[in-house]
Amino acid sequence: MAAKAERRQLDRWRQCPVADRLPMGNIPGMAEASQHPAARPRPLPPPPARLVEAGAPVEGTWAGPLRDAGFDGLAGEYARGFLERRLVEKRWQALFLATPQAMISLAIVDAGYLSSGILSVFDRGARRVLVDSNPVLPPLFAWVADEPNDGMRAVLTGPRIGARIERSGGRILATARWGGVALDLALDARRAPPPMTAACKLGPGRFNFTQKLVGLAAEGEVRVGNARFAARGEPAGLDFTHGYLARDTSWRWAFASARQGGRLIGFNLSEGFMQSSENAVWVDGAPCSVGPVRFAFEPSAPLAPWRIRSDDGSLDLTFQPEGYRSQSVDLKLVVSKYLQPFGVFSGHLTTPAGDRVDVDSLPGVTEDHTARW
């Protein structure tokens, strides 16, 4: 399977225009082999009971949800008045789903002094983004609760926009009426593996908390005009993020939640944000830490391959975009520039037992994002 994946990636590389190609060393199997055996991902400990202790956020990465993820009790450098909190506090709830026919992203963003959201539908057969909407709205148009588990609620309203993501009793309902799009999905978290939960200090008075879920069996459909894309049990993923973020923030990100060869495989990988504390992989079970990862890609060639490798050698992936969405917003005080390709990952992961798991055309998403907010 690995040899077939390498030949397929090489064929794709040859078919790319010369200007779009990464070096052949960025194709799996073409780089020199590591001089050291791959390390094993580290199993994660259970989470603490609450996020805030003694006036400060508890730092760490855990397998499982926190019972209390609220910010109540922050003191000292983390204490914020109402107006200051509105300037630095950011929250979002995002959903990603890949089916054989489509990839869907839905996000609700409360950035304090402004509201935003994302709805994107990528038609994999046509290799075309059918919907790409990322409005910037006044404050109070979006609301995201502090709770990422049962009781979670995120709501976005606006001109021709209504979206919500809510969780109760292990069931998550995501609905949206967004221009000409109707999204109705039900996700089942009851049989999903434990989430990856992480908290990390980002500087004086700044920190971020996040929870990532994979393996949420999705049922429902997304309708774009006359096109309908059904979900029939494919494993969706959720990203809950809440923090006092820096004025200038940037990250590279890769995410997948899919089944291949009868196994549930997921990963959340980032560089440039949270000091690698949110880097985790799931293989038929609880999340494990893979430590720092490095991204290699060419921003000016959005359909060229990406290379993502962990420093410890436990993970080596090539991402081949099938399509992408991008946006550049410059409102002087607020700037957002991103590239988000949809595509497939090939390469390998390593389990905590030291077993190598090859992946071939596993659907997922990457992102390069710079924000001033």
pLDDT, tens only, 191-229: 999 999 999 999 999 999 999 999 999 999 999 999 999
In whole angstroms, what is the distance from residue 158 CA to residue 151 CA?
A: 23
Is the confidence at residue 121, as pLDDT, over 90?
A: yes
| Confidence class for position 37, pLDDT limits 50, 70, 90 | low
What proportions of the chain, in percent to the nearest 5, are helix, strand and coil? 10, 55, 35
pLDDT, tens only, 285-314: 999 999 999 999 999 999 999 999 999 999
pLDDT, tens only, 13-26: 434 433 333 443 44
Asked whether the beta carbons of 127 and 68 are under 8 A apart, the reply is no
pLDDT for 372: 81
Domain parsing of the chain, residue ranges = 2-372
DSSP character at residue 83: H
pLDDT, tens only, 270-282: 999 898 999 999 9
Query: Which residues fall within 8 angstroms of residue 46, CB to CB, at 6 or more apart?
Result: 62, 63, 64
In whole angstroms, what is the distance from residue 260 CA to residue 109 CA?
A: 31
pLDDT, tens only, 67-107: 999 999 999 999 999 999 999 999 999 999 999 999 999 99
In whole angstroms, what is the distance from residue 44 CA to residue 189 CA?
A: 20
The pTM for the full model equals: 0.89
Asked whether the beta carbons of 215 and 331 are under 8 A apart, the reply is no
Give ∠ CA 18-252-249 in degrees, rounded to 5.
Answer: 130
Is residue 89 helix, strand or coil?
strand
pLDDT for 286: 97
- Side-chain-side CA neighbours of residue 145 (13 Å): 14
Task: Say which range, 15-24, 117-126, 144-153, has the weakest mean pLDDT.
Answer: 15-24
pLDDT, tens only, 308-345: 999 999 999 999 999 999 988 777 777 778 999 999 99
Asked whether the beta carbons of 115 and 156 are under 8 A apart, the reply is yes
Residue 173, judged by CB atoms within 10 A of its CB (0-12, 13-18, 19+), counts as: middle
Tokens of 160: 């021709």
pLDDT for 279: 97
